[in-house]
Amino acid sequence: MNCREHHIPELELATGQVREALQAILHTILFIRSPGPVAPRDVHCEGFDLTYTRIATNDGSSIRSDGGGRSISRSISIENDLDKKVDDAIEVFLRSLTQIGPELLSGCLTLGFFERRATRQLFGLVSHEERVVWEQWILRVVVNNTPRPVNDDKASVIERQRIQVSSTTFITSSLH
């Protein structure tokens, strides 16, 4: 099976923007590529002037019988599970960043979609599950650890605006 690759333009982000930017991009991709009908939920980014759409599910309870006449209530939280998986992937990514210069770190994050296929070997006695990747989204990120200017002088204000505008532009172009 052929694997389709989507290369998102390289993002250069300040250290404090990385988590929120990656959440916006990953949740948008997951929403776009989700199989079947899903409910949308708009999320406004605090650090950027943009809103993205993600998968929304309501926390609810499902009641099932255990066969003995008793009902067991089970809480289902797909959205929290999805958030946890995205946040865990971002944490792993942040720990794997490599130094590429003074105060610059770089890394590559790949989101893959795969199909599970069961294969039998040795005359059908041994089964093995194979994951066949059919689509990948590849995102290169450069993290700029340069201290953000906090003074109120004109140069500091201009630099803060430049960082904010360039980050927002990068993310917006990645999401479209």
Q: What does the pLDDT profile of the chain (176 residues) look like in tens digits?
A: 588 999 998 988 888 889 999 999 999 999 998 888 888 999 999 888 889 999 986 544 333 334 444 333 333 456 678 889 999 999 999 999 999 998 899 999 999 998 888 887 777 677 788 888 899 999 999 998 877 667 778 777 787 777 777 777 767 776 66
Overall domain count for the chain? 1
Domain around 20? 4-175
The CA-CA-CA angle for residues 48, 49, 52, to 5°, reads 85
Give the C-alpha separation, 159 to 155, whole Å.
6
Beta strand 98-101 pairing with 104-121: antiparallel
Query: Quick one: which of 135, 134, 104 has its CA closest to 7?
Result: 135
Q: What is the pTM of this model?
A: 0.75
User: Would you state the pLDDT for residue 20?
Assistant: 94
- Cβ contact 24:45 at 8 Å: yes
Cα-Cα end-to-end distance for the chain: 27
User: Would you state the pLDDT for residue 165?
Assistant: 76
DSSP string, 43-104: EE-SSSS-EEEEEE---EEEEEE-SSS-EEEEEE-HHHHHHHHHHHHHHHHHHT-EEEETTE
